[in-house]
Structure 1
Amino acid sequence: MFSKEINLQFEIDWKSVHLADIEWNISLNKDNYSIDFVIQSYGMTDKIFKYKSVTNIEGLIENNQLHPLTYKSKTKSTKQDVYANLNFSPEGKILEFDISKEINDEQLIMQNQFINQYQFFTDPISQLVQYFLYQTDSDRMIIDGLNIYSLKFET
């Protein structure tokens, strides 16, 4: 049985000032994966602009592709407290879409048009981890709650 745990920690520094910490905890099993991703302000930055973003993803692994089933992200800072909760089918269709950001009717219509046009989605963190692990693109558009976009791997 295939199983792997990857735990990464990074510091974000600027001109020798430590601004924030990033933690990735990636758990891979034969057919499924989970990712915990945390960005948190540190030191002086924490006193000026306190920030913490926590994202949890669980999904399936198929042919070197990470397909999320749940994506839960919560960001809290001195200026905002937002969340995005998305549930996907194994094929990548959005089953549930819950975000804290208020959007007007025009934005909602445009968002629904994009969702109906592209239909199959992944989340940004699963896509990035997939790049690191398998050096492969996703055959799906990326959605993070508000934005829809694509990333391509180039050699």
Structure 2
Amino acid sequence: MDLKSEITNTLSGAFKALDTPEVMQHIQIVDEGIPHQYPTKLVDDSSAVYCFYYPKSETFLKIGKVSRNSNARYVYQHYGFNARSTLAKSIIADKELNIADSLSEDNIKDWIFNNCQRIDIVLDSSLDVFTLDLVEMLLHYKYKPKYEGFKSLRIKDNGA
């Protein structure tokens, strides 16, 4: 199964279980693929959850959310060093990934574009912050992204 379908099924199942299946009519799931480019800006007060998947290690690296009017965070910040916490900084600092030595501020953006699949879950303006938070948390729970949360608080193997 492809990731877009898997994410769609996960969210559909959750909203159906919550007796709100109509929510899916207000969500668009966009698979930017590999390689990908910067996504287009969010419009009309929409919000989003963005996911960066590294297929070589079959790992979600980052899953984050942006609320309305957070286009800088959504579009380009994770590809560089221009914010406090970014995907680029996390990858460069990660000695376990075994690629950080070949990466720098000069080439990390291109590496992310060419090696990570980006999937965006865009919520239209009719959905509230609670829906945005739920979507992000469902994907965190399912995929356990490498660069989210404190490593010391993670369970090594939960049997799942």
Query: What band does the TM-score fall into relative to the shorter chain?
Result: 0.3 to 0.5
More helix by share: 2
Please, what TM-score do these two structures have when normalized by structure 2?
0.32
Per chain length, whose mean CA-contact separation is higher, i.e. which structure has more relative contact order (CA < 8 Å, sep 6+)? 2
Structure with the greater alpha carbon radius of gyration: 1
Please, what TM-score do these two structures have when normalized by structure 1?
0.32
